[in-house]
Amino acid sequence: MMWSVSDEALLAGLASGESDAAVAFIRRFQRRVYGLAMTILNDSAAAEDVAQETLARAWRHAGAYDPRRGPVATWLLTIARNLAIDALRLRRADPVDPSALVSLQGMSAEAGPEERAVVGDDAHRLHEALRALPEDQRRALVLAAFYGQTAREIGESENIPLGTAKTRIRAAMIKLRGSLQMEDDEREL
Amino acid sequence: MNESCKETRELLPELALGILGGEERARALDHLTSCTDCSSELAALSRAADGLLTLAPQHEPPAGFEDRVLARLRRELPQHRARRFMTFAAAAALIAIVAGGVVWVGTAHDRRLGSYYQRILAIQHGTELAAARLETTDRLPGGEAFTYQGRPSWLFVVVTAPVGDGVYDIVGTVHGAAVRLGVIHIAHGRGDWGGTTSTEMKSVDEIRVVTRTGQLVLHGTVQHN
């Protein structure tokens, strides 16, 4: 039964200390959380540390999750992203290579085998919008969204003026936001 | 849209991505506290920025990952439990007091019960224990809420009502404004939630249990001293 409950109910079970809920929660989200950490860090030991800490934090702070601010998967992945970026900043000497993500390798809007449709329509829309972006905008966006690079850092690494980096990030984000807006408008019709 | 909005809109994409720092971030946040339009725009951009993370390639963790996470949770459990236990122990004491409250009011001369109440309050520097009977919108009994004003203040909610399975918000009304206090998971008509809160529980006039979309399911007036 635990396998068919909603993400929110599973998180509530986790918060109340049910051990079945903890196992089901880990199984449901481990591939996403570890996958994101691995994408950012490209180091299996460091990615496992981040994934473990992410799940432990979710367990500790399950009661603070606010469903109005987004799906459980997204909440969990923002925790993982922030932890992975912290880890990345500690090893400055080993710069990231965003090329795989920029070329959309492995990027998918599909749910994993243990998941219900945890991420909904947003993922499909965002995937399409990301694919449609000019490569320079997609690159700036990937560096910001996944690797936490600031506009100044992107300007330096891409060898472009700060203003251009900011413009690329902004243009990309406005298109992505527009793709979700379109979806909402369609739903209302 | 005024000049301040225009300036903030330029910064919102970076703010949503979590990469805006220093003075620009402070300026944007300052504007957002008083502008609902820009706040909605930030929410829409954040949904896109956070949603991107769900597209990352999924990857099977190394063998034994699940066991290592569970072992870690077990190691942290005593501390976690201790915090929860304190809340529930205090809640249990409170329930005993509230159950006895009718007698206490009816026989005000009963000093023994009065001093017992004082001692219970002192456990967490409390000044008030209060309760609310929860009712459904059809005025059927739906459970109870117990509030404690102390350091820390806390709330304990028990639901026994024929409402649908799911996750609901527990909301308090403080001087007419709604404050979210916790989240309750209800299954088969039953659920409970307890936790500490920074909200002044002595100022909470009403406790409501609402759906994620804000629809009222249960409510009750808090009977203060």
> Which residue is closest to A65 within chain B, CA to CA?
B183
In 10 A of CB B94, how many CB atoms?
Answer: 21
pLDDT single digits (tens) A123-137: 889 999 999 999 999
Chain B residues in contact with A170 by the CB 8 A cut-off are: 10, 13-14
Q: Which residues contact B215 (CB under 8 A, 6 or more apart)?
A: none
Chain B residues in contact with A17 by the CB 8 A cut-off are: 77, 80-81, 84
The pLDDT, as a whole number, for residue A144 is 96
CA distance B71 to B25: 40
Chain A residues in contact with B47 by the CB 8 A cut-off are: 70, 122, 177, 180
Of the residues A40, A49, A53, A122, the best mutation for testing chain B's interface (the one with the most B CB atoms within 10 Å of its CB) is: A122
Chain A residues in contact with B50 by the CB 8 A cut-off are: 70, 74, 77-78
From-to residues of CATH 1.10.10.10 in chain A: 98-189
pLDDT single digits (tens) B166-186: 788 899 988 888 888 888 888
Four-residue CA torsion sign, B194, B199, B202, B203: negative
User: Do A173 and B180 count as a contact with CB atoms less than 8 A apart?
Assistant: no
The better pLDDT of the pair A11, A29 is held by A29
* B212 vs A38, A68, A179: nearest CB: A68
pLDDT single digits (tens) B122-132: 776 777 888 89
| Edge-first strand listing for the sheet containing B177-186 | B177-186, B166-174, B204-210, B216-221, B128-136, B141-149, B153-160, B190-197
Nearest CA to A38 out of A76, A10, A80 is that of A80
CA distance A175 to A66: 26
Span A1-94: which CATH code?
1.10.1740.10
Q: Are B199 and B179 in contact (CB under 8 A)?
A: yes
Average predicted confidence (pLDDT) for chain B = 81
pLDDT single digits (tens) A89-116: 887 666 678 888 888 877 877 765 555 4
The amino acid occupying position B14 is E
From-to residues of CATH 1.10.1740.10 in chain A: 1-94
The DSSP-derived string for B43-107 is HHHHHHHHHHGGGSPP-PPPTTHHHHHHHHHHHHHHHHHHHHHHHHHHHHHHHHHHHHHHHHHHT
Which CATH fold topology does A98-189 show?
Arc Repressor Mutant, subunit A (1.10.10)
Q: Are B220 and A49 in contact (CB under 8 A)?
A: no
- Whether B5 shows a pLDDT value over 70: the answer reads yes
Size of interface A-B (CB pairs under 8 A): 185
- Whether B14 shows a pLDDT value over 70: the answer reads yes
The pLDDT, as a whole number, for residue B81 is 53
User: Do A30 and B68 count as a contact with CB atoms less than 8 A apart?
Assistant: no
The pLDDT, as a whole number, for residue A178 is 94
Chain B residues in contact with A42 by the CB 8 A cut-off are: none
Tell me the domain boundaries of chain B.
Answer: 3-54, 120-221
The better pLDDT of the pair B168, A121 is held by B168
Beta bridge partners of B153: B197
The DSSP-derived string for B111-130 is HHHHHHHHHHHHHTT-SEEE
